[in-house]
Each structure stands twice: as C-alpha cells, then as structure tokens.
Homo-oligomer: A and B are copies of this chain.
Amino acid sequence: MRRSKRLVLLSKFLIENPNRIFTLKYFGEKYDAAKSSISEDLNIIKDAFYEAGEGILETIPGAAGGVRFRIKKPGEKIENFLSELCKILSDRSRIIPGGYLYMTDIIFSPEYSSKIGEIFAQIFVDKDPSCVLTVETKGIPLALMTAKALGVPLVVARRDSRVTEGPSVNISYVSGSSQRIQNMALPTRALSENERVLIIDDFMKAGGTARGMIELVRQFGAEVVGVAVLVATALPVEKLVKSYTSLLVLEKIDTERGEVNLRPVKFL
C-alpha cells in the first residue's frame, strides 16, 4: 500500500480508537508495511493533528508501549465553541414556562454531544477513568460521547430496577432542588469494585442527583475520579457535591423579560 493511502486509513483508525495504545507491529501487520514506514506515517499524522489543534499522538515507551491518540484541543478553540453554545442556548425562544431552558435538541444532537464529550474527555483523561456513569435520560448522549472519546465503557443508572437487567443495587436519595425522594438503580453486573468512575450529567442545580450517583458508586466499592455537567446553576452556590466541573453556568432566567443569562466557565 502506498504511503498516501496508509495515511488516510491510519488517521481513520486512530480517530476511531482514541486513548488506546497500539504497537507499531500491530499497524505494520494491519497495513502490510515495515515498522520504519509506519513510524514515518505516524510522525506525519502527529504533526498534522498537532498543528491543526486536533489532538496529540503520544509515544509510550517500554514493553507495553506504542502510540496513543488523545483528543486535545487548544483552550481558545474550546472557549469559542462554548461561547457559541451559550449564544444558541440563550435564545429567548428556549425559555419554557416555569423558568426552564429547552436544551434537549442540543444535548441529543450528535454534532454537539460529540464535541461536548470530547471536552469532558480532555479535562478528565489524566484521572485515568475506566468507565463513565450517568443516570437516565438526558445525560446519556453526553456520557456516551465522553466514553467514546476516552475509549471506555458507559454505565447507565436507571430510575427503577429492571427485570430485564437482573439483580441490582438500589439507592434512595433526596433531590436537592425538589426535596423529593428519588430512586436510582444499577445492575450488580454493571460495575466492579476496581473501576475508576467519571460521572457525567447534563444539568446540576443543587447536586442531589450527582450525590446519589457518588453514593451508588460507593455501594459497589468503586472510586469516583470526577463529576462533570454541561450546565450548573449559579445558585445555590453550595452544591451537595464537594467538587465538580461544569462547562457553562446558568446565572438566571428572566421569564418576564425573556432573558437568559448563561456563560462559559474559564477553566483552561
């Protein structure tokens, strides 16, 4: 195979398998080429991705070594994206009676959810999560795309245990904002005690749901390595979780005036 074609296929493979280590030997056999040629290909890909701000191709030394593609966009690129997102979400037509903001179309959009998932992955990749956890329903697309960008599985807690998923661990918790008792369930086979869990959700107000998920992870004896949401409300300032990351902060929705005050967090 000629270099130009190999570059195309190697790029595709690396993009579709982020955060995983592959050896030069593996690629050499896959594309029927000498390791030295593969090495040159990878250098070209590395430079192209780096210069375009798409990600980094790392060389891992040692017996278990190889190369690994990690999505890493420059802070400016991320900030521009989040500003654009704020602009879209701040449209007055999105205000729902009762003081809510309609975000479902953005959260469920493959285009936006994949970009948001890549940002979450970039923030938490160094914490080395082994899986992503969310609770149904609206957190699922963001959590799935985060898991995809990290190259790890997704685990989804349900509101009730399901007969189709076998024995489960169930917890009850008090929702921080509505003060109602809520349930959350996760099949016993969905999580093991060695997992390093990244918790992802779409929205946080008081943080009760996130705290519920942390409690659920503890019941399995696993570890939470991060909690992140797309949007957190500015109030209450004190959330029920000690530490969390949000990409956007919702300061206020003024239903009367038709004004939404939403801003990106400066975190990079």
Chain A residues near B (Cβ < 8 Å): 3-5, 7-9, 11-12, 15-16, 44-45, 47-49, 51-52, 54, 96-98, 100-102, 104-105, 108-110, 113-114, 136-137, 140-141, 144-145, 147-148, 151, 153-156, 158, 163-166, 187, 189-190
Whole-angstrom CA separation of A37 from B149 in the bound complex: 32
Closest to A155 in B: B108
Which residues of B are found within 8 Å of A156, using beta-carbon distances? 104, 108, 137
Residue from the set A9, A15, A45, A164 with the largest chain B CB neighbour count within 10 Å: A164
Contact yes or no, A109 B8, CB < 8 A? no
Smallest Cβ distance from A66 to chain B, in angstroms?
Answer: 19
- Given pairs A101-B164, A109-B153, A137-B156, 16 additional interface contacts (CB within 8 A): A4-B7, A4-B44, A5-B44, A5-B51, A12-B12, A12-B54, A96-B166, A98-B163, A102-B164, A102-B166, A102-B187, A104-B190, A108-B154, A108-B155, A137-B158, A140-B141
Closest to A8 in B: B48
Contact yes or no, A144 B5, CB < 8 A? no
Smallest Cβ distance from A80 to chain B, in angstroms?
Answer: 16
A108-B155, A153-B105 known; A9 and B166 CB under 8 Å? no
Whole-angstrom CA separation of A49 from B6 in the bound complex: 10
A114-B148, A141-B144, A144-B113 known; A165 and B47 CB under 8 Å? no
Smallest Cβ distance from A160 to chain B, in angstroms?
Answer: 11
A4-B7, A109-B153 known; A102 and B12 CB under 8 Å? no
A96-B164, A144-B110, A165-B96 known; A104 and B187 CB under 8 Å? yes
Closest to A95 in B: B166
Contact of A7 among B7, B15, B110, B190 (CB under 8 A): B7
Contact yes or no, B164 A8, CB < 8 A? no
Which residues of B are found within 8 Å of A47, using beta-carbon distances? 5
Whole-angstrom CA separation of A4 from B7 in the bound complex: 7
Contact yes or no, B166 A97, CB < 8 A? yes
Smallest Cβ distance from A58 to chain B, in angstroms?
Answer: 16
